[in-house]
Amino acid sequence: MNPVSLAASFKDQYHHTPMIVRAPGRINLIGEHTDYNNGFVMPAAIDKHFLFAVAANNTNQFNIQAVDLHETISFSLDELKAGHHWSNYLMGVIDGMARRGKKIEGVDVLFTSNIPAGAGLSSSAALCSGFGFALNELFRYNLSRLELALIAQESEHRFVGAQVGIMDMYASLFSRTGSVMLLDCRSYTHEYLPFQFGNFELLLVDTKVKHSLASSAYNNRRQACEEGVKIIKQNRPEVQSLRDVDETVLQIFKPSMTEEVFRRCNYVVKEIDRTRQAAHHLKKNDLTAVGKLMYETHRGLSSEYEVSCPESDWVVTTARETGVTGARQMGGGFGGCVLCLLSISVKNIFIEKVKAKYFAQFEKEPDFYSIELSEGVALV
Ligand code: ADP
Ligand code: MG
């Protein structure tokens, strides 16, 4: 559905003229599981997005329709509650605004999205960021984009129970066309890095594996990182997180750690460093070097952090065998999408090869999405 037809449906249904907001999903080029270790990530918004049609309705009711799901929900401010439904994400955003002292007024909303949900492209962050942005514009709340990102994050924490980092909503709100950003997850500041495609493309291979193991494994990996920091801290009190540790320091404390804690920490320390290196290579427009780092990241995710799965490993191995420049599983783990950096000449050969063999191996049809880097949340 495009903005014009969404606005037309809105008018049919609610008989007034809406404001239209676009809110994109995101990729993360490199920097996986570094966010909660105060490290760096390298996200960018993509050309897949939510569209919201929103107008004030001069009542205290929220009337919201998820067009793709044919579901409509109505509620008022005193009916906000936690849960796992799409409406809970939006309730969390309203709650965040109320807790910041904003005067909450009712709206009519229609929204739709072409971001595949649950594939690791952060549809949930785009949902929260776009809705927050729309309310902020409509009622002139004067919240900054950073506050909107924090409200979106709080919504996932408090209303959906997903302990997500800041990256997804930050990327949805702050991205610029044609760039990735080096986001410092300690200071919440970012630097834009132009991504000059030349003969290259970014392609996502959706493995169609839903990350069911993800939340328990995620908590367990976080604990391993915290355990590592605790051990180092006993002798180096200035160390707050793995961001403050390099490989040399980690080696010193290796004997005090279990083999598993060391391996997890070692992955994170190297991944923070790889992300810094990738920024350096991007500044020189050396995408081949960035691709090599992506393969190293995948090896780390698979054998050190142990959050990959046979399907992602197979796609990455096939990518390497086919001359793809870089490939890695993207997102928390155990499936979702594999992000590939590849030259245009290799793209079709690679897609055909995956199509021909993936189903026989895994009994699932993969999807392929070519990615453009787009601007963050905006009025249309
Ligand atoms: P991800 O953020 O990786 O896409 P999540 O599980 O975090 O996956 O978020 C997916 C949730 O976002 C869905 O369960 C649903 O609540 C909401 N969502 C995503 N797309 C839509 C949509 N088109 N319409 C309504 N809700 C959606
Ligand atoms: Mg999400």
Residue with tokens 């801290």: 233
pLDDT of residue 213: 62
pLDDT in tens, 100-156: 999 999 999 999 999 998 888 999 999 999 999 999 999 999 999 999 999 999 999
Q: What is the DSSP secondary structure assignment for residue 373, as one 8-state letter?
A: B
Percentage of the chain surpassing pLDDT 70? 99
> Are 123 and 154 found together in one domain?
yes
> Are 100 and 156 found together in one domain?
yes
Which tops the pLDDT comparison, 105 or 163?
Answer: 105
> Measured between alpha carbons, how far is 378 from 139 in angstroms, rounded to an integer?
16
Q: Is the pLDDT of residue 253 over 90?
A: yes
How sure is the predictor about 333, in pLDDT bands with cuts at 50, 70 and 90? confident
> Measured between alpha carbons, how far is 331 from 32 in angstroms, rounded to an integer?
7
How sure is the predictor about 217, in pLDDT bands with cuts at 50, 70 and 90? confident
Q: Is the pLDDT of residue 212 over 80?
A: no
Residue 375 inside a domain? The answer is no
Spacing, Cα 302 to ligand 2 middle (Å):
22
CA distances from 299 to 32, 304, 318, 322 (A): 12, 8, 14, 17
pLDDT of residue 164: 86
Lowest mean per-residue pLDDT among 205-219, 233-247, 306-320: 205-219
Q: Is the pLDDT of residue 342 over 90?
A: yes
pLDDT of residue 163: 83
**Per the structure, how many domains does the chain have?**
2
> Measured between alpha carbons, how far is 49 from 25 in angstroms, rounded to an integer?
6
> Measured between alpha carbons, how far is 3 from 247 in angstroms, rounded to an integer?
50
Q: Which of 175, 194, 213 is the endpoint of a domain?
A: 194
Helix (H, G, I), strand (E, B) or coil at 60: coil
pLDDT of residue 7: 97
pLDDT of residue 250: 98
> Measured between alpha carbons, how far is 42 from 29 in angstroms, rounded to an integer?
5
Spacing, Cα 166 to ligand 1 middle (Å):
17
What number does the ligand 1 atom closest to the CA of 164 have?
A: 7
As a whole number, mean pLDDT of residues 274-278 equals: 98
As a whole number, mean pLDDT of residues 241-253 equals: 97
DSSP per residue, 34-55: -GGGT-EE-EEEEEEEEEEEEE
Domain that holds residue 317: 200-370
How sure is the predictor about 297, in pLDDT bands with cuts at 50, 70 and 90? very high
> Are 249 and 298 found together in one domain?
yes
Q: Give this prediction's pTM.
A: 0.95
pLDDT of residue 169: 97
> Measured between alpha carbons, how far is 298 from 248 in angstroms, rounded to an integer?
22
CA distances from 220 to 158, 160, 238, 256, 260 (A): 20, 20, 24, 19, 11
> Measured between alpha carbons, how far is 24 from 149 in angstroms, rounded to an integer?
13
- 194, β-bridge pairs: 179
- Mean pLDDT (the chain) is 96
Q: In three state form, how does the secondary structure of 130-189 look? A: HHHHHHHHHCCCCCCHHHHHHHHHHHHHHHHCCCCCCHHHHHHHHCCCCEEEEEECCCCE
> Are 207 and 172 found together in one domain?
no
Say if residues 257 and 249 touch (Cβ distance below 8 Å): no
Beta strands 179-184 and 40-41, pairing class: antiparallel
pLDDT of residue 118: 84
Q: Which of 135, 170, 194 is the endpoint of a domain?
A: 194
Spacing, Cα 89 to ligand 1 middle (Å):
9
Q: Is 168 a catalytic residue?
A: yes
Angle subtended by helix axes 167-174 and 145-155, to nearest 10: 140
Pull the structure tokens for residue 74.
């109505």
Helix (H, G, I), strand (E, B) or coil at 154: helix
Q: Which residues form ligand 1's pocket by a CB distance below 6 Å? A: 66, 68-69, 86, 113, 117-124, 127
Residue from 168, 246, 286, 313 carrying the catalytic annotation: 168
* Count of beta carbons in the 10 Å neighbourhood of residue 248: 8
Handedness of CA 278, 280, 282, 288 (dihedral sign): negative
pLDDT in tens, 20-72: 999 999 999 999 999 999 999 999 999 999 999 999 999 999 999 999 999 99
CATH of residue 40: 3.30.230.10
How sure is the predictor about 214, in pLDDT bands with cuts at 50, 70 and 90? low
Handedness of CA 297, 300, 306, 308 (dihedral sign): positive
CATH of residue 230: 3.30.70.890
Q: Which of 32, 69, 124, 210 to mutate to test the pocket of ligand 1 (most atoms within 8 A of CB)?
A: 124
> Measured between alpha carbons, how far is 127 from 54 in angstroms, rounded to an integer?
13
> Are 244 and 293 found together in one domain?
yes
Query: In angstroms, how far is CA 197 from the centroid of its own chain?
Result: 21
Residue 376 inside a domain? The answer is no
pLDDT of residue 119: 86
